Structure 1
Amino acid sequence: MNNEEITNPVPSVDGKSIAIISYITIIGWIISYIQYGNNKSQLAIFHIRQSLFLMLCMFFTAIVQMLFAFTPYLGWIISTSFSLVMLGFLVLWVIALLNAINGEQKPLPVFGNKAQDLLKTIK
C-alpha cells in the first residue's frame, strides 16, 4: 500500500448531516458543533443555533414546571399549562428537524429569527 491510496481515511460530514444531528439531544448538538468546526456550512450553523435555542427554552420551561408542580392547586394548574407549552416545543422540534432533513433554512415560527440574532456569536 503506497501513500497515494490513503488520501482521507475519515469521510467528511456534510452540512445537512450536521444540521440533523444537532437536533438529537444535547450530545448530538455537541457532536454537530464539533463537526461544524471541521466543515463550515451555513445550513449547519443555522440549525445549530435553532436547536440550541429550542433546547434552552425547553430546559427552562421544564425547570419552571417542576417548581410549580410542588405548589398545591394553583401550582398544579400552572404546571399543567406548562405541559401544553412543552407539547408546543415538541411540535416546533419536529418542524425544525424536518427543515434540517429537507436542507432548508426556515426559521422556526414565533422565535426562529430571534434565536439567530441572540446566538449569532456561535460561529
Structure 2
Amino acid sequence: MSDEEKKFGKGSEGSFDKGNKKSSEFGKKANEGFEKGKESSKSFSDDTKKSAKDFGDRAQEEFKKAKESTKGFAGDSKKAANDFGEGAKKTANEFREGAKEAFSGVGGENKKVLAGILAIVLGGFGIHKFILGYTKEGIIMLVVTIGLGAITCGMAASAVWIIGVIEGIIYLTKTDEEFYNIYQVGRKPWF
C-alpha cells in the first residue's frame, strides 16, 4: 500500500470515529427527548382523564337539575291543563244555557235571534222567512235573488238582500215579547 493510501485510510478512520461518536450523542439526545415526551404524554393523559371525569361529574349534576326542573314543569303543565279544561267546560255550559234561553223565549217558541242573524247573513235567500214559517214570502225572496238577480246583473238580488238586512235589524231590536206577538203569533210577513 502506498503512503498516500495509508494516510487516506487513517484519515477515514478518524472521520468514522468522529461520526460514530456524534451519532451516539444524537441517539442519546433522541432517547432523552423520547423519555421526556413519554413523561409529558403521561402527564397530559392523566390531566385529560381528570378533566374528563370532572366534566362528566358536572354534566351528571346538571342533568339531575334539569330532570328535577322538568318534573316541576310537568306538574305545573298538568295543573294548568286541568284548570283550562274545567274553565272551558264551565264556559261551554254557560254558552249552552244562554243559547237555550235566547232561542226558547216565551213558551219555548221564540226564534228572534236565529231569524235576525239569518236575515242579516243570508237575507237575500229568504232563509229567515222559512224559519218563521212564511213559506210564500221565503220563496218570493229566493226566486227574486236567484232568478231576477241573474237577469238584472244582481240589482234585484241586492235589493232583496237589503230588505233581508233591514228585517234582521228590526227582528233583533224588538223585545222578545214584541217579536213573538208581531211575527210569530200575529203572522206579519214583511217588516
Q: Identify, as 1 or 2, the structure richer in helix.
A: 2
**Length-normalised TM-score, structure 2:** 0.28
Higher relative contact order (CA 8 A, sep 6+): 1
